[in-house]
């Protein structure tokens, strides 16, 4: 009986050792790379460079904006961000809330603020990005964002 308890404890200890050894060091030091990549994203938008923005995504990336179809692939993503730039949006702040590494991906959960030329807030919201390594560089693979600003109520034209 006593030997069963000892073997059970040894088994649990071994499982814990295996679990800890499976946790990659990458889990703990990827945030600086994502901070750097986010800065490149903000800089490219500020410069009005949609082509540079598109290169920050994987070849088969998808952007999932609110009230819009999924945008897939480099050319479509470049056109999507060009439409933002054409509206005068160039001031973006990304504020990382959490970064978690999972196998060959990183999951980022964060907040964003978009400001106009006169520093007035145009939009604030949250986003999730799944980052994936491509050509030894972390790139946006899935990008979904949503505004915190409520939609204006629909006005019934019959009134």
Per-residue pLDDT reduced to its tens digit, 3-61: 556 655 554 554 544 544 444 444 457 899 999 999 999 999 999 999 999 999 999 99
Looking at residues 102-122, what average pLDDT do you find? Answer: 90
From 11-15, 67-71, 149-153, the region with the lowest mean pLDDT: 11-15
Structure tokens at 101: 């590494």
Domain 24-147 part of CATH 3.40.190.10: no
Mean pLDDT of the chain: 85
Q: pLDDT at residue 85 above 80?
A: yes
pTM of the model: 0.78
Place of tokens 């945008």: 71
Half-sphere exposure of 78 (CA within 13 A, CB side): 11
What pLDDT sits at residue 88?
Answer: 86
Of 150 and 144, which is predicted with more confidence? 144
Place of tokens 């000892």: 6
- Tell me the domain boundaries of the chain: 24-147
């Amino acid at each position: 009986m006593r030997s069963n308890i000892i073997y059970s404890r040894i088994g649990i200890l071994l499982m814990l050792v295996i679990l800890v050894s499976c946790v990659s060091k990458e889990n703990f030091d990827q945030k600086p790379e994502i901070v750097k990549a986010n800065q490149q994203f903000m800089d490219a938008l500020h410069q009005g460079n949609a082509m540079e923005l598109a290169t920050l995504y994987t070849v088969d990336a998808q952007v999932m904006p609110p009230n819009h179809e999924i945008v897939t692939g480099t050319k479509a993503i470049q056109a999507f961000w060009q439409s933002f730039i054409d509206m005068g949006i160039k001031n973006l702040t990304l504020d990382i809330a959490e970064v978690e590494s999972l196998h060959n991906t990183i999951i980022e959960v964060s907040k964003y603020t978009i400001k106009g030329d006169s520093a007035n807030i145009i939009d604030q919201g949250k986003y999730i990005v799944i980052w994936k390594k491509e050509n030894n560089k972390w790139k946006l693979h899935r990008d979904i964002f949503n505004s915190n600003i409520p939609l204006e109520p629909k006005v019934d034209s019959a009134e």
